[in-house]
Amino acid sequence: MTPNPDPAGRMRLCAVVPTYNNAGTLEDVLMRTYRVLPDIIVVNDGSTDDTQRRLAASPIPVTVVELAENRGKGYALREGFRKARACGYTHALTIDSDGQHYPEDIPLLAQEALLHPEAFIIGSRPLKNKNMPQANTFANKFSNFWFRLQTGCSLPDTQTGFRLYPLSGIRGTRWLTSRYEAELELLVFAAWQGAELRPVTVRVFYPDKEHRISHFRPTADFLRISLLNTALCFGAVIYGWPRKLFRRIRNRKQ
């Protein structure tokens, strides 16, 4: 198992798994995650399918945070991080419950975090992977462009939900959105604060279209992403870029 392989005690790692109506894939994700990382927090984001019953009957010992109604992935992650801190964890690995990510790749992120305990470790998917929806590829490239403009940093995959966060690095962060684009927001704020962002190549699985479950709403979600990017661009002008310039000047004087 990969759990907390740090003899110096710098890292106590758990998995945070937000889920919404993914009962059909959740059990497999949890079982495979448990084999490499047994400390798991599941945030049931108001699922209306069989998720709650399956979690109650699961043979895997997981901590469950139940939300009475669907609040969005960003809100679910925030509740998961809050629970992780309350349980004494220093780092949280996030993984989606739809089966897209390979839990077997968790050790790749964990080992990188051991070498860089204050960094944000980003599991980067190959954008040309077989069966990857064209809409996903476009959305990722679109997001990568705006991220580079807002922060001056380049990442190969700013849309991935497979990440490892130092919980101290997101403490006190004010979230602008509660939906899935909050993950982009977290990266932008981390870059503005001068955090190290380290991509790690991971595998990705996309089932055939007829077996794929997606909660993406093209019109509403694209509008919300556009509004967020507008706000972040404004924030970059008045906060992000000046802070980065100040940091450069200070480093030159040292």
Q: pLDDT digits over 31-49, tens only? A: 999 999 999 999 999 999 9
Residue 1, domain member (yes or no): no
d(CA 233, CA 5): 39
pLDDT of 6: 59
Helices 182-192 and 134-151 sit at what angle, rounded to 10 degrees? 30
The string over 97-135, giving b where at least 16 C-beta atoms fall within 10 Å of a residue's C-beta and e elsewhere, is bbbbbbbebbebbbebbbeebebbbbbbbebeeeebeee
- Amino acid letter, 244: K
Residue 104, domain member (yes or no): yes
**pTM above the 0.85 mark?**
yes
DSSP at 237 = I
pLDDT of 3: 47
- Which H or E element spans position 150? helix 134-151
Measured at the CA of 159, the angle between CA 21 and CA 239, to 5 degrees, comes to: 120
Residue 201, domain member (yes or no): yes
Strand partners, 13: 91
pLDDT of 138: 75
pLDDT of 200: 98
Q: pLDDT digits over 125-162, tens only? A: 987 766 666 666 777 888 899 999 999 999 999 999 99
- Amino acid letter, 153: C
The closest alpha carbon to 185, from 228, 218, 223, belongs to 228
Q: Identify whether the C-beta of residue 13 lies closer than 8 Å to the C-beta of residue 92.
A: yes
Q: Name 132's Cβ contacts closer than 8 Å, sequence gap at least 6.
A: 125, 126, 204, 206
- Amino acid letter, 127: L
Q: Identify whether the C-beta of residue 195 lies closer than 8 Å to the C-beta of residue 169.
A: yes
Measured at the CA of 13, the angle between CA 206 and CA 3, to 5 degrees, comes to: 85
Q: Please state whether beta strands 197-201 and 120-124 pair in parallel, antiparallel, or not at all (unpaired).
A: parallel
Q: Identify whether the C-beta of residue 125 lies closer than 8 Å to the C-beta of residue 47.
A: no
pLDDT of 221: 67
Residue 139, domain member (yes or no): yes
Tokens standing for residue 253 = 């004087």
Residue 210, domain member (yes or no): yes
Total number of domains constituting the chain = 1
Residue 64, domain member (yes or no): yes
Residue 4, domain member (yes or no): no
pLDDT < 50 regions, the chain: 1-3
Residue 172, domain member (yes or no): yes
pLDDT of 206: 81
pLDDT of 178: 80
pLDDT of 235: 94
The CATH number linked to 80 is 3.90.550.10
Task: Give the three-class secondary structure for 47.
Answer: coil
Structural domain including 139 reads 13-253
